Amino acid sequence: MKRLVVIPLVAVLLGGGVASATPVTTAAAASVTCPTGWGSLPESATSTNSRPLTNVRTGAHPCFDRLVLDVPGTSAAHPVGYHVQYVGTLYQDGSGNPMPVRGGAILEIYADAPSYDPATGTPTYPGRAGQPLPGVDLTGYRTFVEAKFASSFEGRTQLGLGVRARLPFRVFQLDNRLVIDVAHSWTATR
Could you give the maximum distance between any two Cα atoms of the chain, in Å?
79
Q: What is the mean pLDDT of residues 11-28?
A: 40
Tally Cβ neighbours within 10 Å of residue 109: 23
- In this prediction, residue 16 carries a pLDDT of 43
Q: What is the 3-state secondary structure (H, E, C) of 77-115?
A: CCCCCEEEEEECCEECCCCCCEECCCCCEEEEEEECCCC
Could you tell me how far CA 62 lies from the centroid of its own chain?
13
CB 18 within 8 A of CB 76: no
Could you tell me how far CA 161 lies from the centroid of its own chain?
11
Reply yes or no on whether the pLDDT at 103 is more than 60.
yes
Q: What is the mean pLDDT of residues 71-92?
A: 94
Reply yes or no on whether the pLDDT at 131 is more than 70.
yes
Between 185 and 26, the higher pLDDT residue:
185
Percent of the chain with pLDDT strictly greater than 90? 72
Specify which residues 147 forms β-bridges with. 161
Q: What is the mean pLDDT of residues 143-165?
A: 96
pLDDT tens digits along 63-72: 999 999 999 9
Looking at domain 37-183, its CATH class is mainly beta
Reply yes or no on whether the pLDDT at 12 is more than 80.
no
Domain ranges of the chain: 37-183
| Confidence bin at 21 (pLDDT 50/70/90) | very low
Q: What is the mean pLDDT of residues 163-169?
A: 97
Question: Among residues 89, 97, 64, which one has the least CA distance to residue 160?
Answer: 89
Question: Among residues 69, 64, 75, 66, which one has the least CA distance to residue 37?
Answer: 64
State the chain's mean pLDDT as an integer: 85
